[in-house]
Amino acid sequence: MGPNSPPRSTRVGQFIDVRRLLVGLDLYYGWFVVASCFLGGLLIYGLLYSFSVFFGHLVTAFGMSHANTSLIFSLQSVMMYVGAAVFGFTIDRYDVRRLFALGSVLIVGGLFGTSIFSSFIGVLVCYGIAVGTGFSIVMVIAYVTPVFWFERRRGVATGIATAGAGVGMMAMPPFARLLIAALGWQRAYFALALLVSVALAVATVLIADRPERLGIDASAEFVTTADDRSYPSAREQLRDVRSVVLSPSFAVFFLAFLGSYLVPLSLTVNFVEFARSVDIGAQAGVFAISVIGATNTIGKFVTGYLADRLDTTHVLAGNAVVIGVLTVPITQIHDAGVVLAMSALFGFGYAGLGALMTPVMADLFGAENLNGLFGVASVSSAFAGALGPYLANLSFDLYGTYIPVFLGMALISVLSAGLFLLARQWAATGVRG
């Protein structure tokens, strides 16, 4: 190596930084960022909703009640969404690619650990804590980063990026079922770890936090031209976020998301066991999750299109109503065809929750410190993911049915639509506590 040659680490970095090559293409790099976020969402939510397929095997393997076994998912939800609040502040201040890589290592390492440890505590730590923490980092980046690359086409961009969640829901549960049948549940996790590691590596290479990071002119996308971004101190950032979080409009927004996420996080994670309990078969439950994932994917595009043309908060409120209303026939009509048809429509309603969370927050509370605000708002999903599945399985252990809890959550979802509209009104009028 000559005396003027760059250091080996620099040459390796230039080799793997394909972003510089892609910037030169006649395509706005924001779409590559969207593709990376799409892939991150696909893996997170594909794994998240595959838990329904693994759930029965875990109950058998550990010899525990449904409620206690569901604590694995509850802990993962807490780590995922509470972790999002913590890492939201970090992501606002540091390079997203390094943090995305950290999240990827935690996810893959946790999956490998789950495939090795056969005890409940081992799975709780590896799958609940390690994977859940990795999810929190990747989720915040995947859901928030497109907002910083798009303004004119923000609804479409975030719709495409978050559609990865629907594709993951559609594809991974039946794939996981095949893996379990061929390999057993632990080796299935090992195979998933191998596949996920490759996909996350690709996403890590593509991700970038803002156009200015790569020297890209984004004036054609943004109506208003911003000066070079200046980063406030941690104290100033916390003060600004706290002022928003303590406002009545944010509190109502938080409660609205908590209420609207109860049904999706509780029904989908228990769909296989629910299908068994109403005698339509476990396979119908797996298929129903895939159907929800398929229509969730399409619904992300439809929702993004509508959000660019209608009031975004009204579209989000409508999705909460659809979720609540469709839960009734899913739980009351025990026919596989009806359940699958209603699940397809349910997926359209569910699509809006993920697709519109960040655009609505940007509209109501501004894009400043959006990663941090997204993380705090995501704690609502931690409550929903921790309490909902546990209460549903506790009901099943006590009474042999999930139905009363699901119907109660459906009512809460409908009421949450009104809270979204109230949050919009209070944010617009500047209501203070």
Across the range 377-394, mean pLDDT stands at: 85
Asked if the model's pLDDT at residue 12 lies above 60, the reply is no
Are residues 375 and 89 in contact, defined by beta-carbon separation less than 8 angstroms? yes
Q: With cut-offs at 50, 70 and 90, classify the pLDDT of residue 25.
A: low
Q: Can you tell me the mean pLDDT for 109-138? A: 91
Q: How many residues does the chain have?
A: 433
Q: Report, as an integer, the average pLDDT of 49-75.
A: 88
Give residue 224's pLDDT. Answer: 58
Q: Who contacts 254 (Cβ-Cβ below 8 Å, separation ≥6)?
A: 376, 377, 379, 380
Q: How far is CA 304 from CA 232, 315, 344, in A?
A: 31, 10, 18
Q: Residue 5: its pLDDT value, please? A: 44
Least confident of 229-238, 266-275, 399-408: 229-238
- Distance in angstroms (rounded) separating the CA atoms of residues 97 and 141: 9
CB 33 within 8 A of CB 202: no
Give the pLDDT confidence of 191-214 residue by residue, as tens digits: 999 999 999 999 998 888 777 777
CB distance 164 to 39 below 8 Å: yes
As a whole number, mean pLDDT of residues 88-109 equals 82
* Cβ(308)–Cβ(364) below 8 Å: no
| Interacting residues of 313 by C-beta distance below 8 A, sequence separation 6+ | 360, 363, 364, 420, 421, 423, 424
The reported pTM is 0.74
User: What does the DSSP 8-state code read for residue 222?
Assistant: -
Rounded (5°) CA angle 65-382-360: 145
Amino acid 78: pLDDT: 84
DSSP 238-250: HHHHHHHHTSHHH
Per-residue pLDDT of 328-372, as tens digits, reads 999 999 999 999 999 999 988 888 887 788 788 888 887 666 767
pLDDT at position 17, please? 66
Q: Which residue has the higher pLDDT, 178 or 84?
A: 178
Residue 305 has pLDDT above 90, yes or no: no
Rounded to 5 degrees, what are φ and ψ at 101?
A: -65, -40
* Superfamily per CATH, domain 23-223+234-429: MFS general substrate transporter like domains (1.20.1250.20)
Residue 104 vs residue 269, higher pLDDT: 104
What DSSP string runs through 128-144?
IIIIHHHHHHHHHHHHH
* Residue 222, CA distances (Å) to 18, 241, 308, 360, 370 in order: 25, 24, 14, 17, 17
Nearest to 335 by CA among 294, 381, 281: 281
If you write DSSP's letter for every residue of 61-118 in order, what string do you get? HHT--HHHHTHHHHHHHHHHHHHHHHHHHHHTTS-HHHHHHHHHHHHHHHHHHHHH--
Q: Is the pLDDT at 237 greater than 80, yes or no?
A: no
Cα–Cα distance list, 146 to 102, 169, 283, 332, 374 (Å): 20, 21, 36, 39, 13
Predicted confidence at residue 242, as pLDDT, reads 79
Q: How far apart are CA 359 and CA 303, in angstroms?
A: 11
Rounded-to-integer distance, Cα 83 and Cα 99, Å: 13
> CB within 8 A of 171, min separation 6: which ones?
42, 46, 290, 293
Query: At how many degrees (to 10) do helices 336-365 and 282-307 cross?
Result: 30
**Residue scoring higher pLDDT (242 or 113):** 113
pLDDT value of position 216: 75
Distance of CA 107 to the CA centre of its chain: 14
Please state the rounded mean pLDDT for residues 21-34.
78
| 53 vs 5, more confident | 53
